[in-house]
Structure formats: structure tokens, C-alpha cells
Amino acid sequence: MSLLDIRNLSLSIHGKPILKDISVSIRQGEITALTGESGSGKSMTAFATIGLLPRGSVTTGEILFDGSNLLTRSESDLCDLRGRDISMVFQEPMTALNPVQTIGAQVMETILIHGAMTSSDAKARTRDVLDRVGLPPDRFPLTRYPHELSGGQRQRVVIAMAIALRPRLLIADEPTTALDVTTQAQILDLLKGLVSEQNMALMMITHDLAVVSDMADTLNVMRAGEIVEHGATFDVLRDMRHPYTRQLFDASRHQAKLSTAKAETPLLSVENVSRDYALPRTSLFGSRPMFRAVNRVSFDIKRGERVGLVGESGCGKSTLTRAILGLEPIQEGQITLDGDPVWQDGHPNLAVRRKMQVVFQDPYGSFNPRHRVSRLITEPFHLLTDPPKGADKDAAIADALTAVGLNPADADKHIHAFSGGQRQRIAIARALIIRPDLIVFDEAVSALDVRVRAQILDLMADLSRDYGLTYLFISHDLSVVRSITDRVLVMRAGEIVEDRPTPAVFEAPEHPYTRTLIDAAPQLPAFPETQDAARPAF
Amino acid sequence: MNRNLIIGGALTALFVCAALVSFLWTPDSVETMNIANRLKPPSADNLLGTDHFGRDILSMLMVGARTSIAVALVAVGIGMGLGVPLGLAAAARSGGMLDEVIMRMNDLIFAFPSLVIAILITAVFGPSATNAIIAIGIFNIPVFARITRGAALSLWKREFIMAAQVAGKTRTRISAEHILPNVANLLIVQGTIQFSLGILAEAGLSYVGLGAQPPIPSWGRMLADAQTMVSLAPHVALIPGLTIIAMVLGLNLLGDGLRDALDPRLKVVRA
Amino acid sequence: MLHYALKRLVSLAISLLVASLVIFVVVEVAPGDPASFMLGINAQPDTVAALRTELGLDQSKFDRYRSWVGGMLTGDFGTSYTYRTPVSQMIADRLWVSLPLALYALTLSTLIAFPAGIFAAARRGGIGDLGVTGATQLGVAIPNFWFAMMLVLIFAINLRWFSAGGFPGWDRGVWTGMKALTLPAIALALPQAAILTRVMRSSLLDILGEDFIRTARAKGLSSRQALWRHGLRNALIPVLTIIGLQFAFLLAGAIIIEQVFFLPGLGRLIFQAITQRDLIVVESVVMLLVFAVIVVNFVVDLAYAAVDPRLRART
């Protein structure tokens, strides 16, 4: 018999349908994944199960836990159940902990709120679970505050809170999405270990099919509030009976077809560059201590070359990017584009800036919401001494929009009329419009769903062929870089540890850190690629 | 649709109209005294009664609205005119010397409540409505500087601002072109709130004699004059007081309504 | 923590220094010759000369500033020209009325605002919330001195529960004194309580939307437990700021309220001093008010650090 049996669950929030007739069942000791793109309703299924739906939610159907329907239980019954029988781990560890309480107090609260033990026993148990999740007492005493821990460590605390009373069902909502790939691997191992050790059921919400294939016994594929396919993970991924599953799978391992580059003349040159940040003063009158975010980094990019820059959060890649773009001065070394320095006499060099453009990560934050598309994408014209006017300007706008697969008529719309993927196309149009020598893609596909991501990567490959683009592609995700670059730089702790052609890096990584990154990334099983890969409308 | 906006807007419009009409016409003169007709309760002749000099209270309130609105409006103007550019400049150079100096100056002004500024100015230059404007206006500067800086700082972290920087625009130009329009809603709402606080502050200053001087009618002065008469004729204190409440309430509702209409997430300050 | 406190202490000292400079410049430099200003245009030349010597106007401005600040540091605020008594003595007497009044009002306002704000936030959108929000909307619109007049009209003149004004002094017992300060304190406190309630409510509602509240709910806390155990302390940070600011308003507001109740506090002193152009008294009382505000803000800064471990760590 199933531990959890969701039967014909439908949910609407303020009258808007979110879930339609969902049925999922999870057995003790089993990992069940819910997967799908953003907005598919997978997180809401989790919140419905633990009884923490937002205001204005109306549900029909049944959620049977141990045979009793949770949807009809009273709130105080649910409070008894939560934390003791059903627990949850959330996506964002940075904000999931109370900043003004120690980690010990927060883990212990799970135990004490249910009156499960005396407080001295609870303290001992707290210590045990923190040890179990990999936070040993010498480095992580109970008196630590959340702000003293890294994201991965905080996620371990959240997991400790969730498992302190050995619940029978654990719900994990994208538990590793906010974490680096090496940390992700550790957290996934931890969760797997806990499931087999405690014979727990785990409901795993994730958008990442590679994680699913790595972890889950059974799989439910969700789209727009419905479950389109379910079954044993291996079977579902092998058969892919539903076209949506196939689209997701193909898009997840999609490789854009990059034309061969003719790279000879040097364009960007980064020589011995260091960037220091002042930290807050530690003593009243002493000088402020410095943190070296980028340490004597050197590399260059030739005209027509497509280079990837990969590293985990805090490795200094964003700092280096800002320095290359001339947004911040550097403390040591020299950055030149076509022989001219990007930063000169304490000011960014405008002559160089007009040869560079950037595409940012967040398709929702990178446009002024008050302006129309035509104004947004022509902003770089500001850099030109003689920007096109009138009909020339309109033609440039139409060209740029057409190049990225949009309609010239879109120029008059406001940005909120577009989806995330379309916005990223607009961002690329903005970067293209002055025909820069170098484009920097700063995590430009990281916030996108897989199918949209595959389309944007294809677009980049097409543009690269048609316009002979030179770009620097910055990403925390090694696998994305593989199909879209000629050469990869791997960055760690402010330094570049590997700088070699892309195929060589993936086939025979030299630096142990690169190897760790490659090994830590979850892999999709190898099934043959289908023809209609990544070509759905968005 | 938005009840706050409608009620608040109507109340505010009513008082602004009353103040404007008073330039052309009032039910009775506010300068001629008629001792025989003093402290009369509301009647057909004097809709809101008469004060201790026999003047028509409705007419006094209409003319007094001019003083209140003028003082509060100019004070908001001073606060916005100086505070907003300072806040924008501080945010554009966040963490720098300029930011530090501007924020420390703000803290300093916060230590001088407008009443204290008014006391200082009055002690040296004598009382007047101008003093009230200056005192309230100075106190408004840090309020606007602070909220502008706070809102601007979060905008500076947004990618569209970085995109503008990559497009080579200067910080000043970005502040004017991208930051200011995006904090405008907040400023409108905060401006309404400061306006209402200005009305209250003006009444308080005039009440203790640090604001508008006789014979200029003002709501605060009317209450000061009423104080000794309150047991004889409660309406002389009740009516001007309720007038102030209605005006301030109207402005606050208008502010809330505007916030809900423009952007419910705006962070305004009330102190 | 110690480092944080020291840093705030340095900025406190700088604020006080700059504030004293501003006051000195406005009062002693702006009017030109303070002596002739204080005595008016009809004064005899020798009287003016005598006052000039007494005020030390023959010294340089810098020396005068130094001796003024130096005097204040040792408790010497100079001698009132009108009353011929040490200003420090006059202030001390009046402070025994104004300070208890401000603290009384602050206590009342906090005692009203905390429960009301928590009550409203816990019942967001319900009848109770609407009632509290409506009441605060009215409360922030009421001028405190008018409210004071109405309290006098109702409770002193009509019901005769309290006296209409005046202060019998603390010699007649704490309760007598407190009773005389009750109506003024209520008048001062209610409009401030309305503001504080709004801040408390909205700050709590902000916190209740945070991820860690959801985490707490997933642990099995009821929404009320989550509010008390995790919401309150985090919500306190903006509330403390407002309490600090309110102290300034209460001290200043006390000056106005004292006029309504004829209380012999700092307000009465300063208005007499203004009419009599007694600049020495004005300057000292203003400095004292500013000093109080700056010190209270320093205490609030320390309170932040007590509430928020991130602040303790950052320095």
C-alpha cells in the first residue's frame, strides 16, 4: 500500500486553475520525482501535500496519507503531522532559516514543538542529526547563526530540521537548484542516504531530468497543472511515450551546432589582472582589509572565437566580467580590446565600450519596465558618435529583431508583453544592434526552462554563423558551455585553473578541479536523440 | 474601484477648493470683529458659528486652509527639491564619501525635530509663517533623501541599470533617465504623506505661536484662541479640530489610495 | 559587539559636536551681536556693554564656542539673563516634568501599539484588522494638542476626574504627580501609538511573507506560533527605528502639550525664554533636546545589535 496517495487532486487559487486532476502515489522507502518546467504545478502539488497552500486556494480530490485524507483534516491535526510525519526542504537555503536564531535552536524547535522529548534529549538529538547531515560539532556548534554558513551548509541545516523526528515522508522542492554543482552532488547523496537509512518516502520536485534519472525510482512528468506521463523512471525515460517528455529530454541534452571558427587575430587581451575589494573595517582606525576576488588572471580571445568561462559561485567570474566590461577599475594588470585599454585615466574608455555588449541572466530584470522595446534595444546607440536616425534607426531595429527571431512589429510593445525566452531574445537584439566586436553572455541561459534554453543556444549558434560573432559565455554550468564554445576557461578561487579547447576539457580534463566539476554533474542516460529535438513553439 | 482614492481625493479637493474660493469670496469678512455676536453656536447666519471676536468660523477656516496648504506644500517642495537629488546622488555613489556625508547629514537633521528648528529660528528671527515653512521643509529633506536612496539602491542592482552602464551612460544620466522615473510613484505617495504631516506640524507650530501670526487666520491659531473658551463654547475648538482631522485624513487616504493604484509594494515611511 | 558599540559611540560624539556647532552658529553668530539682540533697541549702551562682558562677547567666536561646550561638559550651562539663576538648575527642575511625561507617553504608546499591531497582523484582512487599521488611520490624523483640549473638556471640565492643568510637584507623592501627567501623556501617546501600530503591523506582515516562516510552518508550528517565535523578533528591527524617532517627537510634542496643560516643563521654559529673548536658555534647552534625541538613537543602534546577530558579526 502507498504511504501517500494523491487522488484526482485539483487546485485553483483565487479562481485560477493550477492543478487539474492530479494523481500521484508514493511508497515507503521510495523516491518519486515530479518534474516539469516552471509553472507546471509541481511545487503546488508539494505545498498541497504538506497543507501550506497560499490564501485563496480551493482544492477538490483527496490526498491520502496513511489512508486518511489530509484535505479534510483540521489545521491543528496538520500542525501535529507537519515536521513529525511529513517534512519539507525548500529551494532557497539562503532565506529558509530565521536569521536571528541559532541553527541549534531552529533544529531543536522541530523536536520540542511536537513535545517529542525532554529538552536535554532534544539537544542530544539535534547534535546527532547535525552530525548526520555533515555538520560536525567542532566546526558547527549549535550556537552558530545562519549567516555564518554557506548555502550548501544552510541547506544541510534545513534538511536536519526536516529529518529530526524521522518523518515518513520528506518533500524536497528543488533542493539543489540554488546550489553549485559540487554541493548539489553532496546534497543529493545525503538525501539518497537518508531515504534508504530511515526507510523514508521522498517526493522530489525538480526541473532537472538528469537529477531525476540519477535519483528517482518513479517519475511524474507535469505540464500546465497536469501529469502527462508517469511510471518507473527508467521506463519513462527509455520509452518517452508522451511527446512532451521527449521534448524535455531532448532539450536537456541539446547540443547546438556550432559552425567552425576562423580565429586568428587577437581581440580581447586580459593580462595579469587582479581585482581587490575592501571589506568592512575590523578595527576602528585600521585600514580596511582587502579581499582579492580575481588573482593575476591572464587569457585572450581571438576575433571569431567563442570562449566559455566556467566556475562556481564566488569564484570571481562575475567580478572578472565587470572588469572586462569596464564597469569597475582593476588593481593590477591590463585589459585591452583591439589594443585599446577598457579603462583609462580612472574612467571607462567609451571608444572601447562601443565594441562590447552584454546579455544578462535575468530576463525579467534586465529591462526598464517603463520603456518600449524600440527604446530598450536602441540604448547602445548612445555609445555611437553618429547613431542612425529616422528610417535608418527603424531599419536597424527591424533587422535586430528579425535576427533574433522576433517580429519587427514587436518594437512598439512593452517588455511585459513577452515571455522569459522572448525577453532573452530581445536582450540579444539589444547587444547585436551596434554590431559589437565582442558580446559577453553573462549566465544568459541560466534562468530559462530547458526547451527555451535549447532554442536560445541554437539562436546563438545561428547568429555566430551569420555574423561571425566573438563571444565570452559565462556560466556556472559546465554542460551548457560544451556545445556553444570553442575553448573553455575554468575558474576557481579567483584564478583560471584550466584554459583549453572545449572538446579536450570534456574528454580529458587536466586539472583535478575540472574533473570534479565534470564528475559532479548529474548525467542523463544515453538514449538515441530524436529528430524533432527542441523545436516546440514557445 | 479604489475607495481610499475616491474618498481621499474628494476630501483633499474640497479643502483645496475652499482655499481657492476664499481668495474671491468668503461668507463673511475675517477682519471685521463683532463682539456682540461672539461665540455663537452654528446657525443659519453663521453656518459654523462665530469665535470670541464674533468672526464667522467658516470664513476663518476657508482662509486658514490657504495658510495650511501653502505652508505644507512649500515644505514638501523644499524636502523633495533638495532631498531627492541628494538621495539619488548618494545611491549613485553608494559606499563612497559623498554617500557617507549625505547620510550623516541626514542623521543629524533627524536629531532636530521641526519644532526644535522652529524654536531656534523664532528665537533669533521672530515668529512667522515663513519660519514654519523652513522648519518643516528642512525636516522633510532627510525623509525624501532616505527613501529615494533606499529605492534607488535596489534599482542600481538591477540588470537594466547595468545594461545602461554598459551602454556608456554616466551615473548622473542613469539617475535621471532610469532611476528617477522608477522611484516617482514612491515619491508621489510619500509626498502626499509628508503633505499631511506638514498640515499637522503647521497647526502645532501656529498653536504655540511659532507659525503664522495674527491677523493671518490659521487653523492652529484658531485652536490656541479657542483654548480658554472651550468650556463656554465647545464648537470653537471642536470645529477647527475636526477640520484639521478631515484634511489630514483625506490626504492620508489619498496617499494609501495612490499607493494601491500605482504599486502596492511601495515602501513609504511614516514617522 | 564591542567594536560595533565603539563605532556607534564615535559617530555619536561627532553628531553631538556638529549639532552643537549648528546651534551655536544659529544662536550666537546669526543675530550679529547677541547682547544688543537680547536687550532690544532701547537698551542703555552700558547695560549692553555689561552683558557683552558677561557673555564673553569680547572673546573670539571660537573661544566662546569652546567655553560653551566645555561648560556643558561640566554641567555649567551658563546663567539665565532674565532670571539670574544658573540655567542648569532651571533645566533640572523642568526636566523632572518633561522627561517623565515623555517616558510615560512612550510607555503608553508602546503598550498600545504592540498588542494592536500583532493583533491586526495575525488577523490580516479580518474584521479585527480592519478595525485596528481604521482606528490608526484616524489616530494619525488627530493633532495631539487638540486631542489634549478635548480630553480636558471631557475628563477635567465635564467629568472632573482629573484637574484641567498644572502640576502639583513630586513632593505630594508619585501618584499625585502621575495623575497630573496622565491626560497629557494620553494626548501625546495616542497619535504616536497609531503610527507605531501601523509600523508594527506592516513590519510583521512583511516578515510573515518570508521563506523562514514557511520553514517554521513546515516544522509543525501553527501560524500563531510562527508569528510569535520567528516573526516578532525579526519585525522588531524597523519598529525599534520608529520608537527611536518617536522619542524625538514625544520630547518635542511634550513642549506643545505642556502649553495645553500649563505644565511647568521645558516647553514653558523655552517659550518664556523666547519672549524674553533669553538666548542662553534657548540655546541650552535646544542642545539638551538634540542631545536626548542623539543618545536615544545610539541606544536604538545598540538594541539593533542585540536583536540581530548579523549586525554583531559584521563589524
- Chain B positions touching C237 (Cβ under 8 A) are none
Q: How confident is the model at residue A512 (pLDDT cuts 50, 70, 90)?
A: very high
For residue B190, CA distances in Å to B7, B134, C125 come to 18, 19, 24
Distance from the Cα of A225 to chain B's closest Cα (Å) equals 29
| Count of CA atoms in the C-beta half-sphere (13 A) of C240 | 19
- Chain A positions touching C219 (Cβ under 8 A) are 82-83, 87, 109-110, 113, 161-162
Count of beta carbons in the 10 Å neighbourhood of residue A26? 23
Q: Is the dihedral of CA C234, C238, C240, C241 positive or negative?
A: positive
Residues C46 and C171 in one domain: no
* CA triple B7-B191-B109, angle to 5 deg: 140
Nearest to B107 among C15, C140, C273 (CB): C15
- Strands A226-232, A266-278: pairing is unpaired
Q: Please give the Cα distance from A255 to A338 (Å, whole number).
A: 31
Q: Which of A203-212, B94-103, B185-194, C116-125 has the lowest mean pLDDT?
A: B94-103
The answer to whether residue C262 neighbours chain B at the CB level (below 8 Å) is: no
Q: What average pLDDT does the structure give for chain A?
A: 89
Query: Residue B264: CB partners within 8 Å, gap ≥ 6?
Result: none
Distance from the Cα of B58 to chain C's closest Cα (Å) equals 18
Q: Which residue of C has its CA nearest to B230?
A: C153
Element (H, E) at A390: helix A390-403
**The domain boundary residue, chosen from C76, C104, C130:** C76
Nearest to B160 among A325, A327, A366 (CB): A366
The alpha-helical segments, DSSP class H, found in B113-234 are: 114-125, 129-156, 159-166, 171-174, 180-207, 219-226
- Chain B positions touching A379 (Cβ under 8 A) are 163-164, 167, 169
Neighbours of chain B (3+ CB pairs under 8 A): A, C
CATH number for the domain spanning C124: value is 1.10.3720.10
- Strands A226-232, A57-65: pairing is unpaired
For residue A250, give the amino acid letter: D
Q: Which residue of B has its CA nearest to C270?
A: B119
Query: How are strands ordered across the β-sheet holding A31-35?
Result: A86-89, A169-173, A201-206, A31-35, A218-223, A226-232
Nearest in space to A64 (alpha carbons), one of A125, A16, A1, A12: A1
Residues C105 and C221 in one domain: yes
pLDDT at C164 over 90: no
Dump the DSSP string for A439-499.
Answer: EEEESTTTTS-HHHHHHHHHHHHHHHHHH---EEEEES-HHHHHTT-SEEEEEETTEEEEE
Q: Which residue of A has its CA nearest to C11?
A: A284
Q: Which three cell numbers stand for residue C212?
A: 523562514
A269 bridge partner residues: A300, A336
Taking CB atoms and an 8 Å cut-off, how many pairs form between chains A and B?
50
The answer to whether the peptide bond before residue A536 is cis (omega within 30 degrees of 0) is no
ipTM computed for the complex = 0.89
- Give CA C181 to chain center in angstroms: 16
pLDDT at C228 over 70: yes
For residue A148, CA distances in Å to A140, A141, C25 come to 10, 11, 48
Q: Which residue of C has its CA nearest to B226?
A: C149
Residues C194 and C235 in one domain: yes
CB-CB under 8 Å, A92 with C219: no
Q: Quick one: three-class SS letters along chain C?
A: CHHHHHHHHHHHHHHHHHHHHHHHHHHHHCCCCHHHHHHCCCCCHHHHHHHHHHHCCCCCHHHHHHHHHHHHHCCCCCECCCCCCEHHHHHHHHHHHHHHHHHHHHHHHHHHHHHHHHHHHHCCCCHHHHHHHHHHHHHCCCCHHHHHHHHHHHHHHHCCCCCCCCCCCHHHCHHHHHHHHHHHHHHHHHHHHHHHHHHHHHHHHHHHCCHHHHHHHHCCCCHHHHHHHHHHHHHHHHHHHHHHHHHHHHHHHHHHHHHHHCCCCHHHHHHHHHHCCCHHHHHHHHHHHHHHHHHHHHHHHHHHHHHCHHHHHHC
First vs last C-alpha separation in chain B: 29
Distance from the Cα of C306 to chain A's closest Cα (Å) equals 10
- Strands A266-278, A332-337: pairing is antiparallel
pLDDT at B236 over 70: yes
CA-derived radius of gyration, chain B: 22
> For chain C, what is the domain count?
2
pLDDT (mean) for C250-258: 86
- Give CA A174 to chain center in angstroms: 10
For residue A95, CA distances in Å to A99, A107, A147, A330, B67 come to 8, 15, 10, 32, 50
- Chain C positions touching A76 (Cβ under 8 A) are 222
For residue A364, CA distances in Å to A372, A452, A476, B239 come to 14, 15, 20, 53
CB-CB under 8 Å, B163 with A354: no
CB-CB under 8 Å, A366 with B158: yes
Render pLDDT for A291-338 as a digit per residue (tens, 0 to 9): 888 999 999 999 989 999 999 888 888 889 989 988 888 888 999 998
**The domain boundary residue, chosen from C21, C49, C76:** C76
Nearest to B162 among A327, A353, A380 (CB): A327
Proportion of chain A above pLDDT 90, given as a percent: 56
Distance from the Cα of B46 to chain A's closest Cα (Å) equals 52
- Chain B positions touching C286 (Cβ under 8 A) are 116, 119-120
Nearest to B116 among C11, C290, C297 (CB): C290
For residue A325, give the amino acid letter: L
Interface test with C, best of B116, B121, B131, B147 (most C CBs within 10 A): B116
Query: Residue A507: CB partners within 8 Å, gap ≥ 6?
Result: none
pLDDT (mean) for A364-373: 85
CB-CB under 8 Å, C315 with A283: no
Q: What is the pLDDT of residue A514?
A: 93
Distance from the Cα of B217 to chain C's closest Cα (Å) equals 17
Q: Please give the Cα distance from A173 to A182 (Å, whole number).
A: 19
pLDDT at B270 over 70: no
- By a Cβ cutoff of 8 Å, what residues of chain A touch chain B? 325, 327, 348, 350, 353-354, 356-358, 360-362, 365-370, 379-380, 382-383, 427, 430
* Residue reference for cell 520608537: C243
Q: How confident is the model at residue A532 (pLDDT cuts 50, 70, 90)?
A: very low
The answer to whether residue C290 neighbours chain B at the CB level (below 8 Å) is: yes
Phi, then psi, of A75 in degrees rounded to 5: -60, -40
- Chain C positions touching B226 (Cβ under 8 A) are 149
Query: Residue B105: CB partners within 8 Å, gap ≥ 6?
Result: B142
- Chain B positions touching C246 (Cβ under 8 A) are 271
For residue A45, give the amino acid letter: T
Nearest to B163 among A356, A369, A379 (CB): A379
Interface test with B, best of A360, A377, A379 (most B CBs within 10 A): A379
| C135 part of a folded domain | yes
3-class secondary structure, A268: strand
Cβ(B55)–Cβ(B239) below 8 Å: no
Proportion of chain B above pLDDT 90, given as a percent: 35
Q: Which residue of C has its CA nearest to B250?
A: C141
Residues C45 and C142 in one domain: no
Render pLDDT for B74-121 as a digit per residue (tens, 0 to 9): 999 999 999 999 999 999 988 788 888 888 888 888 888 888 888 888
A471 bridge partner residues: A306, A439
Q: How confident is the model at residue B245 (pLDDT cuts 50, 70, 90)?
A: very high
Residues C50 and C71 in one domain: yes
A340 bridge partner residues: A337
Cβ(B80)–Cβ(B145) below 8 Å: no
pLDDT at A232 over 90: yes
Render pLDDT for B128-146 as a digit per residue (tens, 0 to 9): 888 889 999 998 999 999 9
Neighbours of chain A (3+ CB pairs under 8 A): B, C
| DSSP code for A262 | -
Q: How many residues does chain C have?
A: 315
| Domain map (residue ranges) of chain B | 3-23+65-235+247-270
* Residue reference for cell 517623565: C100
Q: What is the pLDDT of residue A281?
A: 63
3-class secondary structure, A136: coil
CB-CB under 8 Å, B160 with A358: no
Nearest to C286 among B104, B110, B119 (CB): B119
**The domain boundary residue, chosen from C76, C103, C138:** C76
- Chain A positions touching B168 (Cβ under 8 A) are 348, 350, 353-354, 380, 382-383
Q: How confident is the model at residue A533 (pLDDT cuts 50, 70, 90)?
A: very low
| C18 part of a folded domain | no
Cβ(A66)–Cβ(A246) below 8 Å: no
Residues C175 and C48 in one domain: no
* Residue reference for cell 558551455: A481
| DSSP code for A22 | E
Interhelix angle B3-24/B57-92, rounded to 10 degrees, is 120
Residues C107 and C222 in one domain: yes
Phi, then psi, of B253 in degrees rounded to 5: -65, -40
Residues C109 and C63 in one domain: no
Of residues A171 and A56, which shows the higher confidence score? A171
Q: What is the pLDDT of residue C279?
A: 82
Residues C101 and C153 in one domain: yes
CB-CB under 8 Å, C219 with A109: yes
| DSSP code for A209 | H
Domain around C164: 89-313
Q: What is the pLDDT of residue A415?
A: 87
pLDDT at B30 over 90: no
Q: What average pLDDT does the structure give for chain B?
A: 87
A226 bridge partner residues: A223
Residues C122 and C255 in one domain: yes
CB-CB under 8 Å, B181 with A366: no
Q: Please give the Cα distance from B120 to B71 (Å, whole number).
A: 18
Phi, then psi, of A91 in degrees rounded to 5: -75, -40
Query: Residue A512: CB partners within 8 Å, gap ≥ 6?
Result: none
Distance from the Cα of A382 to chain B's closest Cα (Å) equals 6
Of residues C32 and C107, which shows the higher confidence score? C107
Count of beta carbons in the 10 Å neighbourhood of residue C127? 8
- Chain A positions touching C313 (Cβ under 8 A) are 145, 147-148
Residues C47 and C157 in one domain: no
Render pLDDT for A40-58 as a digit per residue (tens, 0 to 9): 999 999 999 999 998 889 9
Question: Is the full-model pTM beyond 0.80?
Answer: yes
CB-CB under 8 Å, C10 with A109: no
Taking CB atoms and an 8 Å cut-off, how many pairs form between chains A and C?
87
Q: Which residue of B has its CA nearest to C283?
A: B120
Interface test with A, best of C9, C205, C215 (most A CBs within 10 A): C215
Q: Please give the Cα distance from C144 to C149 (Å, whole number).
A: 9
Element (H, E) at A513: helix A512-520
Residues C260 and C160 in one domain: yes
Q: Please give the Cα distance from C161 to B236 (Å, whole number).
A: 23
Q: What is the pLDDT of residue A534?
A: 41
Please give the class, per CATH, of domain B3-23+65-235+247-270.
mainly alpha
3-class secondary structure, A341: strand
Q: How confident is the model at residue C313 (pLDDT cuts 50, 70, 90)?
A: low
Proportion of chain C above pLDDT 70, given as a percent: 97
Q: Is the dihedral of CA C221, C224, C225, C227 positive or negative?
A: positive
Distance from the Cα of B163 to chain A's closest Cα (Å) equals 7
CB-CB under 8 Å, B165 with A327: yes
